[in-house]
Amino acid sequence: MFTGLIEEVGTVQRVQRQGAFQRLEVSARLVLEGTRLGDSINLNGACQTAVEVGADYFAVESVEETLKRSTLGSLRPGDPVNLERSLRLQDRLGGHLVLGHVDGVGRISRLEERNRQWLLGVEPPPELLPYLAFKGSVAIDGISLTVAQVEERAFTVAIIPYTFNHTALNGSRRGDAVNLEVDLIARYVERLVRAGASPAGITGLTLDKLRDMGY
């Protein structure tokens, strides 16, 4: 589990592809501190396992499912990538709960600087739009962000200069693909509504009842 607060931007050093299997070597510094074989690292929003750890790099291996559901298969040597080590129980949760399970790939439809902030518009896969809500949380390439606006086919987030300059977003352009992970709570709320029950034993749970309960 992660927070969506990027610790550093690494650089892809080497890509080895064999059919539907891929091995990446990524140069890094900060995320290597305390990292051992088998540890989890969030790489552009996808939770990956460190299969090799060197003095200034680590390696991960991605299987077909990961390559199909994320942008990891399109990475090339020299590409910057957002990195975050897994959350420890004593750490502060400064972002939101991020699992590192990519729900889908979106496309950047808007990127502009306005009033000392960056406005980033993303067109997600249609099936993810119901999980995106005004002031709700979303992870874009592993970055915890707050939804500022939801439109018919896209959503917008506002990014402060520090986040923009200290993540791989500062090299992004319109049309670029980004990994998306919707809010975990939204997933469970949908499941509860579909099942018609809640943990408290309330049967026939509906959106109206959720509103009455303050959600």
Tens digit of each residue's pLDDT (9 = 90 or more) over 3-19: 999 999 999 999 999 99
Number of H helices, E strands in the chain: 4, 12
CATH architecture group of domain 8-85: Beta Barrel (2.40)
Span 123-144, average pLDDT: 95
Residue 162's H or E segment, with its range, is: helix 161-165
- Is the separation of the CB atoms in 114 and 182 below 8 Å? no
Tens digit of each residue's pLDDT (9 = 90 or more) over 28-74: 999 999 999 999 999 999 999 999 999 999 999 999 999 999 999 99
**Residue 51: CA count within 13 A, CB half-sphere:** 10
pLDDT at 189: 74
CA pseudo-torsion sign 49, 188, 142, 122: positive
Span 109-113, average pLDDT: 96
Same fold, 8-85 and 104-183: yes
Q: Please say if the pLDDT value at position 187 is more than 80.
A: no
- pTM, full prediction: 0.88
CATH no., domain 104-183 = 2.40.30.20
- Is the separation of the CB atoms in 73 and 48 below 8 Å? no
Question: What are the beta bridge partners of residue 45?
Answer: none
Length of the chain: 215
- DSSP-assigned states of every residue in 103-148: -EEEEEEEEEEETTEEEEEEE--GGGGGG--TT-EEEETTEEEEEE
Alpha-carbon gap, residue 80 to 16, rounded angstroms: 17
Dihedral of CA atoms 168, 151, 138, 194 in degrees, nearest 10, equals -150
Query: What are the structural domain ranges in the chain?
Result: 8-85, 104-183, 184-215
pLDDT at 196: 63
Binned at pLDDT 50, 70 and 90, residue 215 comes out as low
Binned at pLDDT 50, 70 and 90, residue 201 comes out as low
What's the DSSP call for residue 98? Answer: B
Q: What are the tokens at 34?
A: 């305390």
| 68-77, 116-125, 183-192, range with the lowest pLDDT | 183-192
120 residue type, one letter: L
Contacts of 41 (CB under 8 A, 6+ apart): 31, 35, 47, 48, 49, 50, 58, 60, 83, 84, 85, 86
Residue 195's H or E segment, with its range, is: helix 184-195
Tens digit of each residue's pLDDT (9 = 90 or more) over 94-106: 888 899 999 999 9
